């Protein structure tokens, strides 16, 4: 049971059924009340008509015991101001809901001692207002419920008289009973139809979702990220879900493939300095006089730098936040460049004020160092570094006068372990991680890193960061 109602289809069908049930109950109640009210008004009108007909006779001087009530099909009573029954329908056996429950009239006495049964010559006044009540009556052993109208006749020879005339409620009760029976039979059938239709429609609508779930389960079981979920040929939320799922799978596949290449390239890059260092140490152990200490130190430094690059990339891939410290990029450039020694070409610096950004000082310094190292490797005579504020952004430009970067390779150089200069040795050219690290850091600082042709013909790398 818990599993059934845990289904979206079951919950949708149940919710639709409950909503329709509430609506049907409310509508049915309103219909019954309106029907009953309408039929009650009709009964009141019929009772009013009967009471007014008798009251008019009394007002014209007819004595109560002289009223012709034999032709009345419905119960009629005439009660004087003392509550005595002075006239009633023939064969009236029992009555309730009127001024008196008496069924046998007593002889009425005129106030002016007029002859019994004769017109006294006075004219009464029929009241304009009528009161209504519910009751029952038995005539010739036939009992029924009635709607009674009470009408007062004033200034008659017999004082104030009240006429009670009834109208049967059988039609009202029959109509209400028929409507209620129809509702009690029809509403459950309608609810079953609504629940069934909702179940089928929801099943059809959610069929693509089940396909997506099954395919995702297959992806999980096979670990084949190249698989894709089926996309329905619609323009609804399910189709958007399928497209988003496929986009997520594609991004995940790209990420996993990138990680695999990264691990493979990192293993390959680490193998060379480790093998070289081991060879030198083994030779030194066997022949101390042949130990190349400088080469061993260079390999160790190279290995250390590569390990640092790999560790930084791992932290960046893990989503390490750059922090929100304020950094004066112009001051950072001057400080970092003043500490560089051993560069092959001179570095000129152009910087202004107000170049403040938000981020990690250490990571931004790493970007500057990587860009300058790259420029030093390709420059012929010198490297130029400039810091400026333009259009709400701080721009750091590093230019060289080398051969530049071909336009077709300007995005590829930012990939990891990519080296375009085949003639460049590994020792002089690095592992191909510097520009990849620089772009990753730039993007995590909300900035960009692009390359184009410098005015001197070499490469111009431009780092753009939002002004703090």
Name the pairing type of β-strands 125-126 and 159-168.
unpaired
Q: What is the pLDDT of residue 274?
A: 83
**Predicted confidence pLDDT, tens digits, the chain (468 residues):** 444 455 777 888 888 899 999 999 999 999 999 999 999 999 999 999 999 999 999 999 899 988 888 766 789 999 999 999 999 998 899 999 998 999 999 987 776 444 444 444 457 899 989 999 999 999 988 899 999 999 999 988 899 999 999 999 998 889 999 999 999 999 999 999 998 998 888 888 778 888 888 889 998 898 888 899 888 888 888 888 899 999 999 988 888 887 787 777 777 777 777 888 888 888 888 888 777 788 788 878 878 888 888 888 888 877 777 888 999 999 999 999 999 888 999 999 998 777 899 999 999 999 999 999 999 999 999 999 999 999 889 999 999 999 999 999 999 999 888 877 543 444 445 667 889 999 999 999 999 999 999 998 999 999 999 998
Domains 237-317 and 325-466 share a fold: no
Find the Cα–Cα–Cα–Cα dihedral 181, 184, 185, 190, rounded to 10°.
140
Among residues 419, 468, 85, 130, the alpha carbon closest in space to that of 268 is found at: 419
Buried b (16+ CB within 10 A) or exposed e, 364-389: bbbbbbbbbbbbbbbbeebbbbbbbb
The runs of H, that is alpha helices, within 289-405 are 293-317, 329-338, 361-378
Q: What is the pLDDT of residue 464?
A: 96
Helix (H, G, I), strand (E, B) or coil at 385: strand
Q: What is the pLDDT of residue 391?
A: 87
DSSP assigned state of 108: -
The runs of H, that is alpha helices, within 223-236 are none
Q: What are phi and psi of 165, to 5 degrees?
A: -125, 135
For the chain, the structural domain boundaries read: 1-224, 237-317, 325-466
**Measured distance CA(212)–CA(229) in Å, rounded:** 5
Length of the chain: 468
Q: What is the pLDDT of residue 376?
A: 93
**339-348 contacts at long range (C-beta below 8 A, 24 or more positions apart):** 340/372, 343/372, 343/376, 343/383, 344/376, 344/379, 345/376, 345/379, 345/380, 345/381, 345/382, 345/383, 345/400, 346/382, 346/383, 347/372, 347/382, 347/383, 347/384, 347/385, 348/382, 348/383, 348/384, 348/385
Residue 162 near residue 151, CB atoms below 8 Å:
yes
Helix (H, G, I), strand (E, B) or coil at 65: helix
Q: Which CATH architecture has domain 237-317?
A: Orthogonal Bundle (1.10)
CATH 3.30.565.10 describes domain 325-466: yes
Specify burial of residue 167 (Cβ count, 10 A radius: 0-12, 13-18, 19+). Answer: buried
Q: What is the pLDDT of residue 38?
A: 92
Q: What is the pLDDT of residue 122?
A: 53
pTM: predicted TM-score of the whole model, two decimal places:
0.51
């Amino acid at each position: 049971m818990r599993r059934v109602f845990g289904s979206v289809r079951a919950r949708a069908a149940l919710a639709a059924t409950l909503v329709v049930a509430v609506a049907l109950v409310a509508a049915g109640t309103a219909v019954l009340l309106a029907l009953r009210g309408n039929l009650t008004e009709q009964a009141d009108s019929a009772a009013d008509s009967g009471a007014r007909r008798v009251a008019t006779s009394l007002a014209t001087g007819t004595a109560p015991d002289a009223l012709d009530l034999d032709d009345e099909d419905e119960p009629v009573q005439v009660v004087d101001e003392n509550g005595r029954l002075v006239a009633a329908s023939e064969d009236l056996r029992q009555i309730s809901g009127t001024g008196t429950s008496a069924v046998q009239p007593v002889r009425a006495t005129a106030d002016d001692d007029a002859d019994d049964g004769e017109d006294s010559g006075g004219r009464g006044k029929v009241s304009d207002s009528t009161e209504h009540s519910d009751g029952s009556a038995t005539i010739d052993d036939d009992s029924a419920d009635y709607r009674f109208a009470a009408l007062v006749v004033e200034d008659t020879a017999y004082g104030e008289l009240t006429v009670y005339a009834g109208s049967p409620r059988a039609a009202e009760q029959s109509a209400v009973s028929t409507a209620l029976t129809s509702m009690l039979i029809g509403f459950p059938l309608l609810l079953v139809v609504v629940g069934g239709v909702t179940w089928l429609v929801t099943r059809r609508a959610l069929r693509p979702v089940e396909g997506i779930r099954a395919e995702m389960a297959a992806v999980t079981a096979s670990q084949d990220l190249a698989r894709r979920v089926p996309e329905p040929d619609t323009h609804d939320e399910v189709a958007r879900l399928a497209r988003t799922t496929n986009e997520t799978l594609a991004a995940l596949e790209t990420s996993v493939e990138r990680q695999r290449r990264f691990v493979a390239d990192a293993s390959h890059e680490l193998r060379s300095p480790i093998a070289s260092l081991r060879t030198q140490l083994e030779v030194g152990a066997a022949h101390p006089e042949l130990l190349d200490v400088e080469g061993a130190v260079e390999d160790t430094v190279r290995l250390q730098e590569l390990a640092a690059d790999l560790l930084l990339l791992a932290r960046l891939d893990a989503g390490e936040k750059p922090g929100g410290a304020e950094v004066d990029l112009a001051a950072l450039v001057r400080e970092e460049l003043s500490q560089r020694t051993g560069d092959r070409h001179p570095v000129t610096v152009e910087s202004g004020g107000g170049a403040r950004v938000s981020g990690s000082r250490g990571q931004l310094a790493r970007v500057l160092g990587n860009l300058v190292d790259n420029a030093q490797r390709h420059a012929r005579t010198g490297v130029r570094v400039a810091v400026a504020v333009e259009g709400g952004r701080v721009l750091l430009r590093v230019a060289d006068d080398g051969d530049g970067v071909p336009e077709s390779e300007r995005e590829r150089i930012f990939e990891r372990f990519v080296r375009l200069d085949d003639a460049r040795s590994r020792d002089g050219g690095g592992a191909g991680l510097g520009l990849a690290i620089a772009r990753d850091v730039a993007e995590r600082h909300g900035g960009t890193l692009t390359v184009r042709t410098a005015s001197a013909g070499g490469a111009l790398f431009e780092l753009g960061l939002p002004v703090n």
